[in-house]
Amino acid sequence: MSRKAGTADESDGLGRIRIAVELDSGDTEQEVAERFGIPVSLVREVATSSGFREKQGTPQRSRRTSEAERSVAVSRIAGGAAPEQIAEEIGVTVLLLTRWCRQQGVTVGRSLEQLSVAEQQEVRQLLESGEAEAEVREAYGLTREALEELQEPEYRELDSESLGFLYEILREQPRASNRRVAQLAEDAGLELPETAVSAYRQRLQRLAKL
C-alpha cells in the first residue's frame, strides 16, 4: 500500500517524527524528501539525529522485509539472540527490530554492557553454583551472548602477572577484602577488578588452597 504524500515543516517536531518514521520503514532519504516536498539535506539531518546514519555519514537503511522474516527475527530475539547480530543479518536497524519485538510483546535481551557490575557478579555466582542457565538468562533478561560471556570466570581474563600477584596476596592475606586486594594491586601498578578477585578467591577456596 502506498503512503499518502504530505509535507513536513522542518521547524515542526511532529514533522521530524514523520520523517523518521518513513526512514524507519525502509524508504531512502531521496524518496522521503520527494514524498514530503522537502530538501534532502533536511532528511539527512533527521536521519543523523535519529540514528539512521553512522557517524561517517553512511545511510543506515532498513530494507523491506516480509511478515515471515519479521516473525523469524522476533522469534530468534525471544530465544536469546543478540539484536545487533540479527539486525545485521537481515539488513535492518536495531531500532526497527526492537519495534517489531515490542509489537509482538517480546522483550529484547540485555547485553553484557547493559548489566551493572553487581548484576554481573550475581549472574557469575549463580552459574558457578549450578543454577540452570535458562533460568538465570530469563531472570536477568540476558541475551545468549551475554550469558556465554558471563559463564567464563572473570579472572581468566587476567594476564599471568596479575594472576600471580592475586594468588600470592590471597595466600598471604586470606582475610583481606576484595576491595583491599584490588587496592593493593593498583598500588603495584596492576588493575584487578573486585569481581575478578572475588571469583578467584572462590576458586581457591574450592580447591582448599586457603
Which residues contact residue 102 at a Cβ distance below 8 angstroms, ignoring those fewer than 6 apart? Answer: none
pTM, full prediction: 0.47
pLDDT at 208: 60
> Cell numbers 539535506 correspond to what residue?
41
pLDDT at 74: 92
Average pLDDT, the chain: 80
C-alpha 84/C-alpha 109 separation (Å) is: 11
C-alpha 105/C-alpha 21 separation (Å) is: 20
